[in-house]
């Protein structure tokens, strides 16, 4: 029995060693590369909260993102991937709150439109099942800097656009999000799904708190 246990332990250790040397976990052909990315995103604005009590004021919206990444191998199949991306997205106020702003029902909608750039720095690990197919998981911080944010108020008589980054700013320009996701690469083509959680209060000079989150569906090409 003792010999059997020793043999099993030896076999288990050997199998772990083989896995560690396998290209699935440690591909000797790893090299740095650049890639381009384009994504569609679902904007998921959080609740507006004060003293632990939150109210869902905004509806989910949508947007697009485009830019590039640099994938740098570190050790085995572990990598660091910084990027530079530009985005445009929107979300809108729920109808109940639009009515609360104007009891006369002249206001039809209140829509927030934003444009800016993002600097993500993801840390990830990829699993190379074949020479052509890789699956990756990743997480990391993302700095977001807003260039423009407009609030469009549409009424039955006139449309008004307000600058949310102006002198009487309603929103902060800078956000820090934490991203996480997974992707699959076939040869040079990449597809990924990720989520990002806003960590900073986006309301400027306010006792209320509000965070912006999103889900992204990304298509890319690696050179």
Distance, CA of 46 to CA of 157 (rounded, Å):
31
Residue 211 DSSP symbol? -
Alpha helices in the chain (DSSP H): 2-21, 95-101
Confidence at residue 53, expressed as pLDDT on a 0 to 100 scale:
86
User: Cα 110 to chain center, whole Å?
Assistant: 25
> Roughly how many angstroms between the first and final C-alpha of the chain, as a whole number?
55
Q: Which residues of the chain have pLDDT under 70?
A: 1-22, 99-105
Model confidence, pTM: 0.85
Domain borders along the chain are 1-29, 31-222
**pLDDT (tens digit per residue) in 17-37:** 444 456 799 999 999 999 999
Q: What's residue 172's pLDDT?
A: 94
Q: What is the pLDDT of residue 110?
A: 87
State which CATH number among 3.40.50.2300, 3.90.1300.10, 1.10.340.30, 2.40.160.20 fits the domain covering 31-222: 2.40.160.20
DSSP-derived secondary structure for 86-131: EEEEEEEE-HHHHHHH-TTS-EEEEEEEEEEEEEEEEEEEEEESSS
Residue 93's pLDDT is what?
87
């Amino acid at each position: 029995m003792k010999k059997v246990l020793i043999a099993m332990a030896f076999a288990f250790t050997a199998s772990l060693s083989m896995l560690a040397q396998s290209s699935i976990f440690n591909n000797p052909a790893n090299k740095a590369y650049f890639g381009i990315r384009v994504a569609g995103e679902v904007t998921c604005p959080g609740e507006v909260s004060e003293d632990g009590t939150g109210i869902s004021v905004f509806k989910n919206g949508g947007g697009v993102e485009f830019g590039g990444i640099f994938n740098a191998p570190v050790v085995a199949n572990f990598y660091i991937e910084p990027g530079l991306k530009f985005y445009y997205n929107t979300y809108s106020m729920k109808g109940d709150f639009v009515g609360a702003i104007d009891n006369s029902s002249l206001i039809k909608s209140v829509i927030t439109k934003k444009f800016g750039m993002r600097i993500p720095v993801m840390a990830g690990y990829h699993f190379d099942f074949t020479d052509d197919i890789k699956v990756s998981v990743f997480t990391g911080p993302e700095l977001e800097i807003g260039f423009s944010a407009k609030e469009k108020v549409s009424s039955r008589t006139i449309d008004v656009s307000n600058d949310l980054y102006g002198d009487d700013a309603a929103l902060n320009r800078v956000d820090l999000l934490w991203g996480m996701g997974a992707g699959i690469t076939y040869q040079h083509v990449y597809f990924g799904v990720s989520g990002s959680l806003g960590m900073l209060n986006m309301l400027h000079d306010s006792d209320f708190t509000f965070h912006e989150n999103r889900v992204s569906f990304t298509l890319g090409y690696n050179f």
